[in-house]
Amino acid sequence: MSIQLALQQVRQNILLAQEKSPYAMRGEVKLLAVSKTQPVERIAEACHAGQKIFAENRVQELVEKQQVFPNVSWHLIGHLQTNKVRHIVNKIELLHSLESIGLADELQKRLSVFETVLPVLIQVNIAEEQSKYGLAPNEVSDFLDALADFPALQVQGLMTIGPLTAQGEEIRPIFRELRRLLQQEKKRYLPHTALHHLSMGMSGDYMIAVEEGATMVRVGSSIFGARSVMYDS
């Protein structure tokens, strides 16, 4: 299947999921094309098909591709090590994986030099899996309070990666919990935030995520085809 056709199908599926569910977001759900491991030719093809937002999970790869395609948006969806922060400042539109004060601290330092603000999402490990990055759900409130001390970071919402072992409907409670958490935090007075985004759903489950209120979905293989190498996220 061509990338153009695949993108059309994914966009169509997002609309269908929006129509189906009362919890779905009423405005536009942002589709992020996850281009990790994909060569520039395939990214170019997606651009020609009208795709405007791309996501990578490794800093080095993102920076290289951002240089080739400076006029589309780049989001970082993978773990960010503090020693790599300087590479991404001014390169990305949204960081999906903020999950420690150490990282917030380093971002604040680097961003304040440029007097810029970086929109970020807090990564939450809803299922509290050992192997995953992200805050436990019960840590999110305190973390949001602590972020008041980092004015260069604008918190726009929450992100989660569902358990890879979850099949079909098993994932729905995870997405529902992330939505509940966002709603709970939205009710508090947090003037340093603009909480409205829920980044959840990948190729196998983005329709369920949209039904549960995702405002952004991160879709790789359903757009570009299966990745040829095993790739950890």
Ligand X SMILES: *Cc1c(COP(=O)(O)O)cnc(C)c1O
CA atoms of 45 and 5, how far apart (whole Å): 11
Closest CB to ligand X among residues 119, 204: 204
CB of 149 to ligand X, least distance (A): 27
CB of 32 to ligand X, least distance (A): 8
CA atoms of 87 and 65, how far apart (whole Å): 13
Closest CB to ligand X among residues 105, 129: 129
Query: DSSP state, 98?
Result: E
135: region left, alpha or beta (phi > 0 left; psi from -120 to 50 alpha): beta
| CB-closest chain residue to ligand X | 220
Distance of CA 27 to the CA centre of its chain: 18
Closest CB to ligand X among residues 10, 182: 10
Closest CB to ligand X among residues 75, 110: 75
**Phi/psi at 162 (nearest 5 deg)?**
-70, 160
CB of 34 to ligand X, least distance (A): 4
Instruction: Enumerate residues 6+ apart whose C-beta is below 8 A from 127.
Output: 162, 163, 174
HSE-up (13 A, CA, CB side) for residue 142: 7
Convert 155-172 into a string of H (helix), E (strand) and C (coil). EEEEECCCCCCCCHHHHH
Instruction: Report the interhelical angle of 40-48 vs 3-20 (nearest 10°).
Output: 60
81: region left, alpha or beta (phi > 0 left; psi from -120 to 50 alpha): beta
CB of 123 to ligand X, least distance (A): 9
CB of 131 to ligand X, least distance (A): 13
CB of 170 to ligand X, least distance (A): 16
CB of 114 to ligand X, least distance (A): 26
Residues that bind ligand X (CB under 6 A): 34, 36, 57, 77-78, 161, 202-204, 218-222, 233
**Phi/psi at 30 (nearest 5 deg)?**
-80, 130
Closest CB to ligand X among residues 4, 141: 4
Closest CB to ligand X among residues 38, 108: 38
Closest CB to ligand X among residues 55, 111: 55
